[in-house]
Amino acid sequence: MLMRRRISIILAAVCMAAFCSCAFVGTNEETAQKTEFFAMDTYMSVTAYGESAQKAIELAKDEVQRLDKLWSVTDENSEIFAVNSGGEVSVSGETAQLISFMLEMAKRTGGTLEPTLYPVVKAWGFTGGENRVPSGDEIQELLKNVGYEKVSVSGNTVTIPSGVMLDTGAVGKGYASDKAAEVLKENGVDSALIDLGGNIVLIGSKPDGKDWKIGVRDPEGDGVVGVISASDCAIVTSGAYERNFTVDGVVYGHIIDPKSGAPVDNDILSVTVIASEGRLCDALSTALFVMGKDGAITHWRTHKDFEMIMLCKDGQAYVTEGIADRFEADEKHSEMKINVITG
Q: Using CB under 6 A as the criterion, which residues of the chain lie in contact with ligand ADP when the complex forms?
A: 113-115, 117, 121, 126-127, 167, 169-170, 173, 197-198, 238, 242-243, 254-256, 258, 282, 285-286, 290
With 0-12 CB in 10 A as exposed, 13-18 as middle and 19+ as buried, what is 320?
buried
Q: Are strands 224-230 and 212-217 parallel, antiparallel or unpaired?
A: antiparallel
Which does residue 114 touch among ligand ADP, Mg ion, none (CB within 5 to 8 A, set by kind)? ligand ADP
Which does residue 311 touch among ligand ADP, Mg ion, none (CB within 5 to 8 A, set by kind)? none
**Is-contact 102 116, C-beta < 8 A?**
no
Instruction: Determine the Cα–Cα distance for residues 130 and 165; give it in Å rounded to an integer.
Output: 19
State which residue, 40 or 96, has the beta carbon closest to Mg ion.
40
- Cα separations (Å) of 95 from 176, 251, 287? 11, 34, 21
Q: Are strands 317-320 and 327-329 parallel, antiparallel or unpaired?
A: unpaired
Which does residue 242 touch among Mg ion, ligand ADP, none (CB within 5 to 8 A, set by kind)? ligand ADP
State which residue, 115 or 226, has the beta carbon closest to ligand ADP.
115
Dihedrals phi, psi of 292, to nearest 5 degrees: 85, 170
Which does residue 299 touch among ligand ADP, Mg ion, none (CB within 5 to 8 A, set by kind)? none
State which residue, 41 or 282, has the beta carbon closest to Mg ion.
282
Q: Where are the beta strands (DSSP E) in 118-267?
A: 152-154, 157-160, 192-196, 199-203, 212-217, 224-230, 233-239, 244-247, 250-253, 256-257, 262-263
Instruction: Determine the Cα–Cα distance for residues 193 and 44; give it in Å rounded to an integer.
Output: 11
Which does residue 167 touch among Mg ion, ligand ADP, none (CB within 5 to 8 A, set by kind)? ligand ADP
**Is-contact 149 101, C-beta < 8 A?**
no
State which residue, 158 or 281, has the beta carbon closest to Mg ion.
281
Q: How far is the CB of 131 from ligand ADP (least distance, A)?
A: 12
Torsion of CA 50, 63, 118, 1, to 10 degrees: 70
Q: How far is the CB of 263 from ligand ADP (least distance, A)?
A: 8
Q: How far is the CB of 205 from ligand ADP (least distance, A)?
A: 25
Instruction: Determine the Cα–Cα distance for residues 221 and 240; give it in Å rounded to an integer.
Output: 13
Which does residue 178 touch among Mg ion, ligand ADP, none (CB within 5 to 8 A, set by kind)? none
Closest residue by beta carbon to ligand ADP: 169
Q: How far is the CB of 108 from ligand ADP (least distance, A)?
A: 13
Q: How far is the CB of 105 from ligand ADP (least distance, A)?
A: 9
State which residue, 174 or 226, has the beta carbon closest to Mg ion.
174
Residues that bind Mg ion (CB under 5 A): 170, 282, 285-286
**Is-contact 150 143, C-beta < 8 A?**
no
Instruction: Determine the Cα–Cα distance for residues 209 and 226; give it in Å rounded to an integer.
Output: 22
Q: How far is the CB of 254 from ligand ADP (least distance, A)?
A: 4
Closest residue by beta carbon to Mg ion: 286
State which residue, 286 or 320, has the beta carbon closest to ligand ADP.
286
